Structure 1
Amino acid sequence: MKQPTKLVFIPSAGTGHLISAVEMAKLLVSRDEKLFITVLIMKLPFESKGTEAYISSLESSPVLSRINFITLPQAASDIDTRKSPNAFRSQFVESHKPYVKDAISKLAESESESTRVAGFVIDMVCTTMIDVANDFGVPTYMFFTSPAGFLGLVLNIQTIRDVYGKHVSEFKGSDAELTLPTFVDSVPAGVLPSVLLDKDGAKAFLGYANRFRELKGILINTFVELESHALDSLSDGKTPPVYPVGPILNLKISETEVGSKQAQQKSNILEWLDEQPDSSVVFLCFGSMGSFGEDQVREIASGLEQSGHRFLWSLRQPPPKGIIASPSDYSDPKAVLPEGFLDRTAGIGKVIGWAPQVAILAHPAVGGFVSHCGWNSTLESLWFGVPVAAWPVYAEQQLNAFELVRELGLAVEVNMEYRRDLYGEYPNVVKAHELERGIKELMEKDSDVRKRVKDMSEKSKKALMVGGSSYNSLGRFLDQISL
């Protein structure tokens, strides 16, 4: 009889990473009834309500009964969110090592001797936790929540320096084209992730990449049919085994309790969409950290109005400058919108704050998605067959946009090289005519992009079915941890 096994998940802090990790955990335990998972939660000092709300929203089920959540003590109070994101991230994760050790020790004491800890599953920025796993004599795996294309870039940071004779951060502002194994086309320096164009960030990610080699395997949220070239290039004998198991999505989100403010907002949004023709609405949403300055907001409004298309716009208020925090809803969006905009577009558009993204993308009225190209959002749009107009903002989104537009032909471009930092600095503004052009291209009814997205939508679903590529890959991983 098979011995019960346990995995310890350590996702990066933040609700988005937690949701991906939990969905991965749910998929694993649904495939192996002898598998138990403990998720260790690191709470950001500026984001806790979202995490707590998500955990409380999880409905009880036989699968979830085998997933345990432990919220670690709050990080040391001397961590300054005004530091560079890379310094903050490294210090934040490092400060949790003693709490992780303590949690695992208590877990080991309380568990039956018959339950074997098969390993840690960490986020890409949590490689310091490999030390903790080594202390307990267990292997470490990684759940990579970004695409295989980006994984290949991270693994080749040192190679870039060797080949091109300069540090990856020195390509900031360069018009150079880089050859990378996970991309068919050469990659313009202008779409390299902001974190790698920062000297400290590139140093941090080089450190992560060096430790990736110590992993026993890498679970990645993608699928063979989507990133076949990138995944093939990672089978080089130097990289730990890669298991493409995506798309991992939370498609049954219950955002809030019935009767709550967000539940009412969701109801109002869906009622408005019910009144619109099929595939007629452009949805604009830029992720959990997506917000813009007033100059950019006015350009978006002008671009929407000039496009003439129906729209649903998630408009969020930026946090105070110099602070890393999530955006909020405007008490009165009229204050930042062009005068008369809401009146002029009342018949075809709706401006909202928070957005129930999955429910919106699933609605038949939505025909296009102006997106920041965060990987979760990308996979959701592909799942529902909604083409994307790429407008990346931060993180690795510029590279994601390049892959979608140039490599895969699954998106159109608004501006692939736009970027801003997490402190609310907006070095450039996308003009109204750029957005207008992108929307018009996006909403073409019989475009090649739309056809390719519909085809990839079907492939994404088949990948998870019995016998599908991701289903089989997950099986190989489960066989590995059972050894």
Structure 2
Amino acid sequence: MLGKISSDSMKKAELVFIPSPGIGHLVSTLEIAKLLIDRDDRLSVTVLIMKLPFDTMVGTYTQSLAASSPTGRIRIVNLPQDDSISEPTSHQPIKLCTVFIENQKPRVKEVVTEMTRTGSPRLAGFVIDMFCTCMIDVANEFGLPTYVFFTSSAAFLGMMLHLQTLQDSHNIDVTELKDTDTELVIPSFVNPVPAKVLPSTVLDKDGGATMLLNHAKRFRNTKGIMVNTVTELESNAVQSLSNIKIPKVYPVGPILNLKGETGSSQKTEILTWLDQQPPSSVVFLCFGSMGSFSVDQVKEIAHGLENSGHRFLWSLRQPPPKVKFGLSTDYTNPEEVLPEGFLDRTAGIGKVIGWAPQVAVLAHIAIGGFVSHCGWNSTVESLWFGVPLATWPMYAEQQVNAFQMVKELGLAVEIKLDYRRAGQIIVSAEEVKEGVRRVMEYDSEVRKKVKEMKEKCRKAIMDGGSSHTWLGCLIQDVMDNTPPSN
């Protein structure tokens, strides 16, 4: 599917990958690293892992990756753990991560210094996550080019760059848009974007907005920006990015981890249950590694599902002890938060689970719809498998993703577009019921469009496809700009 580039006469080159801490960013970053080395035998990759003290998923995932990398051309380096950040409640996520990543710069410099001592293969550059722009400073010290791997959509990339221009070139304080009915004209979107769907961080007057837009400012100082998207999915956004003065944008998606999920015993039980359901009959509810709800909201979802009459698979997680930042965990006894008798009444048509093997579930023929938080990885996975989305965004840029999928592209139905986790908004049982009903409609226009996009996404990564071609262009740029050996 991916034609290889190989030449024994050419010198080999190594890229240093620096993903953000957190499993969502790490998974797609490692997948693009694997794509690069599979495509070109000249390339090797060293991935520098920054692990937050309270994130237990990253270590498990990197161990499984190391065990499944027989080529030896992906090397995992775990940076020394920084235990100085032990209270995740003291900052918003972007502030916590910004401070944490900045503190890793000396450790990254030490590792790269050691790599330069051997001189073989030559260091070709850094590939940094969208939130690791401070590492451009380290790359510059070594005279190395930096590429960004943007783990969200091209439309959101365009939004960040546009808002950064408004802030820095036109002195517009975007945080003033909070709680207004303003609609923004943003080139990467066809429709005006309501301020109410902007990420909470963009509207944060306590420094979060400045931190986020400073990342966008630094994107402009890199050699190129890889985006986990497909030209055919975001044609307007990709075109708009080619019309502004920024580094070259490479739409190289969809970047997917289609195997290697942990939790095998749970996975087997879940898939066995799905095997017993009719094709396209089950709605899947899953809200990401940080997706959890209040008890009142759990009961509304349960009533909505029961009243919908549809079969369901519901990944129900409980909030972490430190609710401002952290990962959801499984309930020991979900009956404690569900309506009395709910599990008995729905035993024939529904299954409530904890952790979900999301890719394996979406790939299953029984799944007919996906109620999702609209994280970009989940959105791309859903399109890859041709499963229509019902949007319930919760944090980060998920409101933007939901707006794009529903209003821009017609690839999802709306449950909510502007859900604010910090507020006391309760999505009613009736809204849940209606959202499930619409996403499960057999002959809907949304379902037809999603099936068409599934085929376009798959063609994009094949020989001659748009993403396949862009990946080749990126590799050529990396090799052309690899600094000469000393």
TM-score range, shorter chain: over 0.9
Shift of 1:60: 5.0
State the partner residue of 2:435.
438
Aligned to 1:327: 328
| 1:189 matched residue in structure 2 | 195
Once the 2 structures are TM-superposed, how far is the Cα of residue 419 of structure 1 from its aligned partner? Answer: 2.1
1:463 aligns with 2:469: no
The 1-side partners of 2:449 and 2:260 are apart by 27
**Of the candidates 447, 452, 470, which is equivalent to residue 450 of structure 1?**
447
Deviation at 1:348, TM superposition (A): 0.5
1:216 corresponds, among 213, 216, 223, to 223
Q: Secondary structure at the match of 1:58?
A: helix
SS of residue matched to 1:143: strand
315-324 or 186-195: bigger deviation: 315-324
Q: Secondary structure, in 3 states, of the residue corresponding to 1:9?
A: strand
Partner of 2:210: 203
Specify the alignment match of 1:271 in structure 2. Answer: 272
The whole-number CA distance in structure 1 between the counterparts of 2:85 and 2:369 is: 44
* 2:310–2:349 Cα contact (<8 Å) kept: yes
Instruction: Give runs of aligned pairs for residues 364-383 of structure 1, distance below 5 A.
Output: 364-383=365-384
> Structure 1 residue 74: deviation in Å?
1.0
Q: 2:234 aligns with which of 227, 247, 250?
A: 227
Query: Counterpart of 2:88 in 1: which secondary structure?
Result: coil
Deviant stretches of 4+, over 3 Å: 59-64, 158-166
Unaligned runs of 5+ in 1: 256-261
Q: Separation in 2 of the partners of 1:320 and 1:345?
A: 29
**Aligned sequence identity (%):** 59
The counterpart of 2:134, out of the listed 110, 128, 135, is: 128
Contact 1:26 1:64 in 2 (8 A): no
Residue 42, structure 1, aligned to residue 50, structure 2: yes
1:10 to 10, 18, 27: 18
Q: Which residue of structure 1 aligns with residue 79 of structure 2? A: 72
Asked if the contact 2:202–2:212 (Cα under 8 Å) also holds between the matched residues in 1, the reply is yes
Change (3 A) 1:322 1:435: closer
The offset of 1:280, in angstroms, is 0.2
- Native 8 Å contact 2:85 2:100 kept in 1: no
Give the match's secondary structure for 2:16. strand
Q: Relative to 1, partners in 2 of residues 1:53 and 1:216: Cα closer, same or farther, differing over 3 Å?
A: same
C-alpha displacement at 1:411, in angstroms? 0.2
Task: Point out the more displaced range, 81-90 or 216-225.
Answer: 81-90
Q: What is the letter of the counterpart of residue 396 of structure 1?
A: E
- Kindly provide the CA deviation profile for residues 156-192 of structure 1, in whole angstroms up to 9, marking residues without a partner as x: 1134448997411121111111100100000011110
TM-score by length of 2: 0.94
Partner of 1:475: 472
CA displacement at 1:370 relative to structure 2: 0.1
Distance (Å, rounded) in 1 between the aligned partners of 2:15 and 2:144: 10
Residues 392, 419 of structure 2: 8 Å contact kept:
yes
2:290 equivalent in structure 1: 289
| Per-residue Cα deviation, 1:35-85 (whole angstroms, up to 9, x for no partner) | 0100000001110x3112112222756764100000001125156422222
Contact 1:4–1:34, Cα closer than 8 Å, also in 2: yes
- Measure the CA separation in 1 of the matches of 2:376 and 2:472: 23
Alpha carbons 1:172, 1:190 under 8 Å: kept: yes
- Kept in 2, the 8 Å contact 1:312–1:349? The answer is yes
Offset, 1:429: 1.0
The unaligned stretches of length 5 or more in structure 2 are 1-8, 481-486
SS class of match (2:351): strand
Q: Is the 8 Å Cα contact of residues 195 and 395 (structure 1) preserved in structure 2?
A: yes
SS of alignment partner, residue 92 of structure 1:
helix
State how many pairs are aligned.
Answer: 470
Displacement of 1:234: 0.3
Residue 183 of structure 1 contacts residue 229 of structure 1 at CA under 8 Å; is this kept in 2? yes
Q: Which residue of 2 aligns with 1:32?
A: 40
Query: CA 1:61 to 1:298, structure 2 compared with 1: closer, same or farther past 3 Å?
Result: closer
Aligned residue in 1 for 2:89: 82
Q: Check the 8 A contact 1:293/1:426 in 2, yes or no.
A: no
Partner SS, residue 82 of structure 1: helix
Displacement after TM superposition at 1:87 (Å): 2.2
Confirm or deny: 8 A CA contact 1:4 1:116 kept in the other structure: yes
Gap change, CA 1:293 and 1:275, over 3 Å in 2: same
Distance 2:226 2:57 in 1: 25
Deviations 1:330-388 (A, max 9, x none): 01000000011111111110000000001100000000000000010011100100000
- Cα-Cα RMSD: 1.5
Q: Judge conservation of contact 1:389–1:413 (CA < 8 Å) in 2.
A: yes
Equivalent-residue separation in structure 1 for 2:323 and 2:354 (angstroms):
22
8 Å CA contact retained: 2:109, 2:138: yes
Greater shift in the superposed pair: 52-61 or 377-386: 52-61
1:51 paired with 2:52, answer: no
Whether the aligned pair in 1 keeps the contact of 2:164 and 2:216 (CA below 8 Å) is: no
> CA separation of 1:116/1:126 partners in 2, compared to 1, >3 Å: closer, same or farther?
same
